[in-house]
Amino acid sequence: MIQKPKIALTIAGTDPSGGAGAMADLKSFHACGVYGMSAITSIVAQNSLGVQHIHNLEPAWLEEQLASVFNDEPPHALKTGMIPTPDMMIIIERYLKDFDIPYVIDPVMVAKSGDSLMAEQVRKQLKTTLLPYADVATPNIPEAEEITGFQLETMDQIHRAGDFFINEVGSKGVVIKGGHLEGDATDHLFTREGHFVFEGERYPTEHTHGTGCTFSAVITAELAKGRSVYDAVAKAKAFIALAIKYTPEIGRGRGPVNHFAYQSQKGWD
């Protein structure tokens, strides 16, 4: 008999250009050998040049999508990206309480173009609704600064931020991504077991649209397979490095990464 595939669910906004949001997540799931499902929170008009319009769906429409998924075939792991309203967070929180599956949160607040994707009051609610359930949170430096309330410029401050996520917010793990810092692209994973460093080369390209979505989606896919948090983050780090190194050069602005570079270079694993 053919073995049923592992399933990963993304709850996120759209990107018609395919570089970020649910579209990037589904490509990443597929590239990791996991069956992808999606529930949409917002219809976003965006491309490599920036975000032009955002149309948030009614919270009840998100509830209907999630009910359809979970009443039929619950996923083995899920991730959230752009969650634009407090009501949507409360809906998702109910599913996190009822279903004991790995959860990855990419606290999407600002697009690579600099466009804001989340209102101030919604950002604050992340800390009390979704972040406490996270097996892994994946903030970049500006997002981590927004959540913690202090600057992250030194290793002591990064350690302090990791401690804040684990002991103050209640997340089980957090990857503080170093893409916004100077030097090599070094990421820091903090869990209740310790601190782990993932070093990586910084490639000279502006085509990094959707890196956060892709990185967190790979972690989700690997957790759906039953991998440890450490192994999932290690795979995501290698995946995103190749995705950036071999960008498809699409668009007139900050283009997307290559979601199939890892598969073509490394094969299925």
Residue 122 resides in a domain? yes
- The pLDDT of residue 244 is above 80: yes
Residue 185 resides in a domain? yes
Residue 267 resides in a domain? no
Q: Which residues are annotated as catalytic?
A: 177, 208, 210-213
Identify the domain containing residue 167 by its residue range.
7-259
Q: β-pairing, 187-191 with 194-198?
A: antiparallel
Residue 227 resides in a domain? yes
Residue 252 resides in a domain? yes
Residue 140 resides in a domain? yes
Q: How much is the pLDDT for 179?
A: 62
Q: Domains in the chain: how many in total? A: 1
Residue 233 resides in a domain? yes
Q: How much is the pLDDT for 83?
A: 93
- The pLDDT of residue 112 is above 60: no
Residue 91 resides in a domain? yes
The residues with which 50 forms a beta bridge, in sequence order, are 47
* pTM confidence score: 0.94
pLDDT in tens, 146-171: 899 899 988 999 999 999 999 999 99
- The pLDDT of residue 180 is above 60: no
CATH, residue 251: 3.40.1190.20
pLDDT in tens, 25-66: 999 999 999 999 999 999 999 999 999 999 999 999 999 999
Query: Where are the alpha helices (H) located in 32-163, listed in sequence order?
Result: 59-70, 86-98, 120-129, 141-148, 155-163
- Mean pLDDT on 201-227: 94
DSSP string for 175-240: EE--TTSSSS--EEEEETTEEEEE--PPPS-S--BTHHHHHHHHHHHHHHTT--HHHHHHHHHHHH
